[in-house]
Amino acid sequence: MNKYIELQDLGLKDYKETWDYQELLFKGIVDTKIQNRKAETPLPTPNYFLFVEHSHVYTLGKSGDISHLLLNEQQLIDRGATFYKTNRGGDITYHGPGQIVGYPILDLENFFTDIHKYLRFLEETIILTLEEYGLKAERSPGETGVWLDVGTPFARKICAMGVRASRWVTMHGFALNVNANLGYFDNIIPCGIRGKAVTSLNVELATKTVDEAEVKMKLLKHFATLFEAEFKNSPG
pLDDT (0 to 100) of residue 190 = 64
Higher-confidence residue of 96 and 192: namely: 96
- Candidates 167, 168, 169, 172; CA nearest to 144 is 172
Please state, for a pLDDT cut of 90, what percent of the chain lies above it: 83
Confirm whether residue 79 is marked as ligand binding: no
Contact predicate 4/47, CB 8 Å: yes
**Does 160 appear as a known binding residue?**
yes
Q: Does 65 or 130 have the greater pLDDT score?
A: 130
Helix 212-227 to helix 115-131 angle, to the nearest 10 degrees?
140
Q: In the prediction, which pLDDT does 65 show?
A: 86
CA–CA distance, 129 with 176 (Å, rounded to integer): 11
Per-residue pLDDT, 129:
98
Q: Which residue has the higher pLDDT, 72 or 113?
A: 113
Contacts of 57 (CB under 8 A, 6+ apart): 15, 81, 82, 83, 84, 94, 95, 96
Q: Is residue 191 among the annotated active site residues?
A: yes
Rg (alpha carbons) of the chain, rounded to whole number: 18
Q: Select which of 191, 201, 215, 219 is catalytic.
A: 191
Average pLDDT for 150-176: 95
Residue 91 phi, psi dihedral angles, 5° rounding? -105, -130
Q: Residue 225 CB: number of other CB atoms within 10 A? A: 13
State residue 236's pLDDT score: 43
Nearest of 30, 48, 24, 72 to residue 187 by alpha carbon? 72
Q: Whole-prediction pTM value?
A: 0.94
Average pLDDT over residues 148-172: 95
Is 120 annotated as belonging to a binding site?
Answer: no
Q: Is 144 annotated as a binding residue?
A: no
Q: What's the average model confidence in pLDDT over 176-194? A: 83
pLDDT digits (tens, 9 = 90+) for 58-73: 999 888 888 888 898 9
Q: Is the pLDDT of residue 225 over 60?
A: yes
171 labeled part of a ligand binding site: no
Residue 195 has pLDDT above 90, yes or no: no
Structural domains of the chain in order of their starting residue, each with its CATH number: 4-233 (3.30.930.10)
pLDDT digits (tens, 9 = 90+) for 79-106: 999 999 999 988 889 999 999 999 999 9
User: Do the strands 82-85 and 92-95 form a parallel or antiparallel pair, or are they unpaired?
Assistant: unpaired
Lowest mean pLDDT among 17-26, 199-208, 225-234: 225-234
User: How far is Cα 98 from Cα 53, in angstroms, rounded to an integer?
Assistant: 7
**Contact 159/176 with Cβ under 8 angstroms?**
yes
The whole-number average pLDDT for the span 13-33 is 97
Whole-angstrom distance, CA of residue 173 vs CA of residue 104: 6
Q: How many degrees, rounded to 5, is the angle at CA 165 between CA 164 and CA 170?
A: 85
Rounded to 5 degrees, what are φ and ψ at 155? Answer: -55, 135
Residue 86 · residue 60 · CB < 8 Å: yes
Mean per-residue pLDDT over the chain, rounded: 93
95 marked among binding-site residues: yes
